[in-house]
């Protein structure tokens, strides 16, 4: 990752952390190195992250990271969560698999829990193409967005899965979207 990649990631994390209730047990899907948990700090009761790029289990103070694809490889004994985060991830899930992801989130949430997502606006794809060419971002997955339009597509898939919108806003000059859903 480049400095620019890190800065974008840190801004998404900051926005998502603002919606995580104090004392939450949090699942971070696509956790990378666990940065979200470190940012939450004392607000976190316990963190559990899953990411296919991890080479092995990582245990740190207050959180554990495991390799795997969500939802298929989510360990059965992971428990339930007060918040589930997916930052710049949901747009990379094929439309056929999105309902499965939403259903698994519903199964893993404690009553009153939140699914928190950041999803870039569709216009970001063309901006990322330019940034990739000048090597300000390095990400092979930026072209795997399946034509996903955050403003048009996010709420319908979660609403169909039995969720209601708890929060919706944009940031970074409207180029990024922040959503939170709770079970209806």
How many structural domains comprise the chain? Answer: 1
**With the CA atoms of 71, 76, 78 and 81 taken in that order, what torsion angle do they form, in degrees rounded to the nearest 10?**
60
Domain that holds residue 160: 3-183
Tokens linked to 10: 């840190």
CATH of the domain at 30: 3.40.50.150
Dihedral sign of CA atoms 72, 179, 60, 45 in order: negative
One pLDDT digit (tens) per residue for the chain, 184 residues: 566 567 778 899 999 999 999 999 999 999 999 999 999 999 999 999 999 999 999 999 999 999 999 999 999 999 999 999 999 999 989 999 999 999 999 999 999 999 999 998 875 555 555 556 666 655 555 545 567 889 999 999 999 999 999 999 999 877 899 999 999 9
95 phi-psi bin (left φ>0, alpha ψ -120 to 50, beta other): alpha
pTM (global) more than 0.75: yes
Whole-number Å distance between alpha carbons of 34 and 39: 9
């Amino acid at each position: 990752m480049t400095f620019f990649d890190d800065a974008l990631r840190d801004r998404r994390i900051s926005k998502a952390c603002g919606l995580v209730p104090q004392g939450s047990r949090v699942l971070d899907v696509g956790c990378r190195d666990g940065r979200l948990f470190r940012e939450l700090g004392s607000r976190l009761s316990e963190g559990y992250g899953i990411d296919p790029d991890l080479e092995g289990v990582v245990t740190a103070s207050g959180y554990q990271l495991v390799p795997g694809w969500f939802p298929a490889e989510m360990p059965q004994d992971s428990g339930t969560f007060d918040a589930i985060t997916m930052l710049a991830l949901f747009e990379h899930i094929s439309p056929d698999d999105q309902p499965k992801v939403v259903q698994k989130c519903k199964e893993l949430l404690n009553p009153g829990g939140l699914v928190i997502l950041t999803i870039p606006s569709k216009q970001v794809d063309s901006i990322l193409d330019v940034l990739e060419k000048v090597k300000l971002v390095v990400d092979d997955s930026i072209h795997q967005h399946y034509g996903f339009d955050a403003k048009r597509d996010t709420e319908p898939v979660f609403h169909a899965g039995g969720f209601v919108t708890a929060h919706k806003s944009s940031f970074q000059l409207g180029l990024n979207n922040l959503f939170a859903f709770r079970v209806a």
